[in-house]
């Protein structure tokens, strides 16, 4: 046997374990041998009696019946639940289909309205464009016709003015020819023949002054002094003709030659006088008469229009008063309590009649709402809306509820709070006839649910 070193890694080796007995290999433990026992005889089983058999058979039948009832209840419950889910799905699908149909109808109607509005706008735009085109064409045609008319009128006026000027000059020359002999006879002196130039000078003075007046009228300058000089020369010549004609000749020669001296310059001055009035915009006598007649016609039409409006206003006021009287009578007959309060309120507010503001306030004081609304009207509207909603949902009216819970009626009636109105709540007590009797379908469903619960608890 080899000796081991006294130290290992600088430490003293621990003492060796004491071996007591023989060395045994480490292996799995052997199973203990079961001691053989002498078999004991089993006790003899008693034969079942007829009663035990009947009891077992009844128990088995009851269990089978219970399982059958439970299975039927579960089946009925699944069927009722499936039918309810199917009905709910069908109602929801119908409602969704109705909403989609309404939305499609609204969209289609909106599209038709938009299309009609667009077509109307296009038609209106085309109509206005055509009217504008026709108006422009008519205005252009009228302008062209007016320009043509004015051109033709200007040509006619110019032609007439030239003819009148020539005729006036010819008439002036004729009058001077008639008037000059008597004037020359008045200035005749065999020793002073140069005095024969004086009558010609007098006649030429009037002619030159009238030509200056015409130039002043054309240029827009003052012309009265030219005309004054012309008339002075004409009257001087006429005076010479009248005085010398009466002394040397007869009265006819005197007045005839005097008239000739005035007629020539006077006729030319009439022409210039017309031009002056036209330039200054002075209306003629006919134009003044036409303007006065038009003013009288407008005044008569205005008076007739004012008279008609006054008559219409009077008729409207009478109709409004009659309508207000009928309305007051109807309100007094239909709403007697509100009418009495309205009259008191009008008197308190200083109104002589029941105005709309007073009536609205009185109706709100008595009926609690604006005119046209009261408790009965609101209840009737709510009932009508309920019937319409029931018709849309294809359900009876009495099954509708705005709540999401199927438990509509309260099963336990409420009780007053303990002590005072703000005290703790008191639990209610259920008594017979506190709520409406369940329907046969609900009672059957509750029975099936109870049986199913009892069978599940038994298992």
pLDDT tens string 392-404 = 776 665 544 444 4
Over its C-alpha atoms, the chain yields an Rg (Å, rounded) of 67
Tokens of 231: 């008339």
CA distance 75 to 95: 29
**E-assigned strand segments in 346-410:** none
Non-local (6+) Cβ contacts of 76 within 8 A are: 448
DSSP H or E segment with residue 138 = helix 50-186
Task: Give the three-class secondary structure for 11.
Answer: strand
Task: Give the three-class secondary structure for 437.
Answer: coil
178 with 257: CB under 8 angstroms? yes
CA distance 172 to 208: 12
pTM above 0.85, yes or no: no
Match 């430490």 to its residue by tokens.
11
CA distance 302 to 14: 147
Tokens of 197: 């130039």
Give the pLDDT confidence of 44-85 residue by residue, as tens digits: 555 667 777 778 888 888 888 888 888 888 888 888 888 888
Count CB neighbours of 208 within 10 A.
14
Which residue in 276, 282, 240, 286 sits closest to 261, CA to CA? Answer: 240
438 with 408: CB under 8 angstroms? no
Give, for all 459 residues of the chain, the pLDDT tens digit.
445 555 555 556 555 555 455 555 544 444 444 444 444 555 555 566 777 777 888 888 888 888 888 888 888 888 888 888 888 888 888 888 888 888 888 888 888 888 888 888 898 888 888 888 888 888 888 888 888 888 888 888 778 777 877 887 788 888 888 888 888 888 887 887 777 788 888 878 887 887 777 777 777 777 778 778 878 888 888 888 888 888 878 888 888 888 888 887 877 777 777 777 776 666 667 777 888 888 888 988 888 899 999 989 988 988 888 888 888 888 888 888 888 888 888 888 888 888 888 888 888 888 888 888 888 888 888 888 888 887 777 666 554 444 444 454 456 666 666 656 666 776 666 677 666 677 777 777 777 787 777 666 565
Q: Residues, the chain, total?
A: 459
Tokens of 159: 């032609």
7 φ/ψ angles, rounded to the nearest 5 degrees: -125, 150
Which residue in 92, 16, 74, 31 sits closest to 392, CA to CA? Answer: 92
CA distances from 89 to 95, 100, 251, 297, 419 (A): 10, 16, 134, 82, 50
CA distances from 57 to 64, 65, 67, 198, 327 (A): 10, 12, 15, 179, 91
CA distance 22 to 30: 18
Task: Give the three-class secondary structure for 222.
Answer: coil
CA distance 289 to 195: 52
Task: Give the three-class secondary structure for 12.
Answer: strand
């Amino acid at each position: 046997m080899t000796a081991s070193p006294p130290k290992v890694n600088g430490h003293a080796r621990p003492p060796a374990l004491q071996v007591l007995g023989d060395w045994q290999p480490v292996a799995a433990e052997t199973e203990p041998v079961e001691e053989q026992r002498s078999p004991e005889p089993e006790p003899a089983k008693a034969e079942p009696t007829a009663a035990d058999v009947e009891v077992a058979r009844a128990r088995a039948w009851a269990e089978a019946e219970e399982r059958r009832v439970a299975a039927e209840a579960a089946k009925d419950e699944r069927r009722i639940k499936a039918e309810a889910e199917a009905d709910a799905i069908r109602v929801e699908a119908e409602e969704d289909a109705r909403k989609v149909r309404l939305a499609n109808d609204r969209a289609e109607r909106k599209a038709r309205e938009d299309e009609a509005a667009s077509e109307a706008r296009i038609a209106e735009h085309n109509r206005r464009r055509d009217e504008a085109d026709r108006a422009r064409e008519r205005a252009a045609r009228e302008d062209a016709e007016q320009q043509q008319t004015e051109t033709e009128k200007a040509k006619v006026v110019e032609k007439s003015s030239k003819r009148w000027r020539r005729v006036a000059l010819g008439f002036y020359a004729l009058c001077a020819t008639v008037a000059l002999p008597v004037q020359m006879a008045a200035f005749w002196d065999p020793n002073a023949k140069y005095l024969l130039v004086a009558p010609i000078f007098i006649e030429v003075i009037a002619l030159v002054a009238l030509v200056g007046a015409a130039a002043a009228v054309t240029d827009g300058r003052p012309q009265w002094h030219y005309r004054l000089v012309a008339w002075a020369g004409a009257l001087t010549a006429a005076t010479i003709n009248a005085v010398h004609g009466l002394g040397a000749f007869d009265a006819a020669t005197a007045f005839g030659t005097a008239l000739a001296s005035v007629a020539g310059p006077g006729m030319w001055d009439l022409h210039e006088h017309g031009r002056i009035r036209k330039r200054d915009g002075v209306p003629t006598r006919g134009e003044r008469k036409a303007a006065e007649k038009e003013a009288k016609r407008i005044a008569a039409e205005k008076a007739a229009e004012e008279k008609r409006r006054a008559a219409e206003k009077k008729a409207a006021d009478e109709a409004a008063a009659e309508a207000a009287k009928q309305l007051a009578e109807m309100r007094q007959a239909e709403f007697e309590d509100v009418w009495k309060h309205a009259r008191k309120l009008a008197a308190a507010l200083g109104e002589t009649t029941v105005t709309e503001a007073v009536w609205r306030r009185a109706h709100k004081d008595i009926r609690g709402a604006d005119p046209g609304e009261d408790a009965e009207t609101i209840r009737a509207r709510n009932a009508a809306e309920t019937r319409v909603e029931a018709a849309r949902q294809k359900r009876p009216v009495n099954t509708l509820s705005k709540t999401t819970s199927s438990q509509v009626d309260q099963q336990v009636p409420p009780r007053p709070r303990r002590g005072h109105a703000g005290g703790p709540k008191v639990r209610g007590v259920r008594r017979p006839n506190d709520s409406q009797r369940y329907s046969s379908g609900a009672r059957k469903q509750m029975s099936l649910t109870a049986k199913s619960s009892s069978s599940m608890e038994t298992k």
